[in-house]
Amino acid sequence: MKRIFAGMAAALLAAVSFFPMRVQALSAQKAILMDAQTGRVLYEREADSRSLIASTTKIMTALVICEQCNVLDRVRIPKEAVGIEGSSMYLREGEILTVQELLYGLMLHSGNDAAVALAVYCGGTVEGFAGLMNDKAHKLGLTGTHFENPNGLDSPHHYSTARDLAVLAAYAMENPIFAKTVSTKTVRAGERTLRNHNKLLWRLEGADGVKTGFTKAAGRILVSSAVRQERRLVAVTINAPNDWQDHCDLMEIGFHDFSVKKLISKGKIVGEVEIAGGESGVVTLVASEDFYFAMADGEEASAVYSGSGFVYAPVVKGANAGYLHICLGDKTVGVVPLVYGDTVEQVKIKKESIWAKLFGKGDA
């Protein structure tokens, strides 16, 4: 293994010693900062602890609507969507708005009534729509999450974690309709002018979402997204009295102290293995895809090959050759598929005929 990957660790030098301790003053009880492109968690605090999540629930509500409905459809507001407790866009029974207008009311004005109107329109009932939300959570691997309603009103069986909310937000921001909705500062929706409650859109460079939340039981919750130089960070704080500042601090450190590095390039020879019974003694191993990761200056990654130290001939160029595990310390942070860089045929042993064996070659 050492001979095969001599020099690999040096080639992968790029970035933290882990997240600097400049966030000790963070007000949040639970928090996470994630690089959306690579999935690397740059900072976390009790990120897997389940909590009430208030109106950040509406991230999933909006995502399901964006994926399953036509935003140009017109919706007649049903009676059950009128007079919902909490934040509201003050819908009237029988009023007609488009799905997009209701999405603006949902995500900018945090309308609990908009959430119910969209849920009934898409899922038939609030309960039916909650089922769609939980199905999506399962598909995204959000193991610490369960939804009972589309608006986030407190319920003991309605919860998520900072990590799950970050994964959800990073995924949702890839949807262009969702991203356009949550990045909008002000908009007309029917007869209403709506202004986004997310103050980071005005305060933080590159901010483009995502959602605020608050109930007395849950405290202040904030999910944010920001993009600088085509790099997106997602932050989540739960029960954070000073959440606006928390997110500004997290984002500034994340953008300043970390950068995305290409650690492995597709087509790059990363090592070689010995071949038994081949026309050549070794065969090269080639990365079949690029691998990027968020790193800090001075941080060192290493690479470990998962295959054995040798293979039997023949091998075919481009065939699966195992995997390269990229590690930070003792933690695997990524896996790169490998292929063989050459075709190596099996050595053909010339066999003597039975007559030659019995009588020899004879005299000339």
Which active-site residues does the annotation give?
55, 58, 110
CA 239 to chain CA centroid, Å, is 23
Q: Are 263 and 292 in contact (CB under 8 A)?
A: yes
What are residue 93's phi and psi, to 5 degrees?
-60, 135
Q: Are 47 and 211 in contact (CB under 8 A)?
A: no
What are residue 287's phi and psi, to 5 degrees?
-70, 135
| Cα dihedral 101, 103, 109, 115 sign | positive
CA 165 to chain CA centroid, Å, is 10
Q: Write out the two tokens for 47.
A: 């990120």
Whose tokens are 């470990």? That residue is 304
What are residue 229's phi and psi, to 5 degrees?
50, 45
How far apart CA 103 and CA 176 sit, in angstroms, is 13
CA angle 76, 78, 83 (to 5 degrees): 125
Per DSSP, 278 falls in state: B
Largest CA distance in the chain: 111
DSSP 140-164: TT-TT-B-S-SS----TT-BB-HHH
Q: Where are the alpha helices (DSSP H) in the chain?
A: 8-11, 58-68, 99-107, 112-123, 126-139, 162-172, 176-183, 200-203, 243-257, 354-359
C-alpha pair distances (Å), 170 with each of 35, 164, 165, 183: 9, 10, 9, 14
